[in-house]
Amino acid sequence: AAALNDRGLCRYLRVEFAAALQDYAAAIECQPSFEVPYYNRGLVLYRLGCFDEAMEDFRKVLELNPQFEDAALSLKQAILDKEEKQKRGY
C-alpha cells in the first residue's frame, strides 16, 4: 500500500491525475485502514473540482485518524470552495 501511495504521489506531482487516482485507489484496496492514500486521493479530487468526493475522502481520513490536521484543513477548504462555486452558479 505504501509503495502504491508513493507512486501515486509521483504521478500527482507530474500532473498525471488519472494515474495517481488509480494508484491511490489500489493502495486503499490493499490497506483500507491506511489514511494517507485517502488524503492524497482527496487532494487530487479537490484539484479536479470534485469537491463532494474530496470531502468524502477527507472525512474518511479523519474517521481513521482524528489527529490528521491537514485533512481537517483540507475538508474545511473544500466545503468553502464548494459553497463559493455554488454561489457563483457553476
Left (φ > 0), alpha (ψ -120 to 50) or beta: where does 50 sit?
Answer: beta
Q: What phi and psi values does residue 71 have, to the nearest 5 degrees?
A: -70, -40
- Contact present, 11 and 23 (Cβ < 8 Å): yes
- Contact present, 56 and 65 (Cβ < 8 Å): no
pLDDT digits (tens, 9 = 90+) for 47-65: 999 999 999 999 999 999 9
State pTM to two decimals. Answer: 0.94
Q: Whole domain around residue 35: which residue ranges?
A: 1-89
21-27-32 Cα angle (round to 5): 115
Q: Is the predicted pLDDT of residue 90 greater than 90, yes or no?
A: no
Number of folded domains that form the chain: 1
CATH number reported for the structural domain that contains residue 5 in this entry: 1.25.40.10
Which residue reads 479536479 in cell numbers? 48
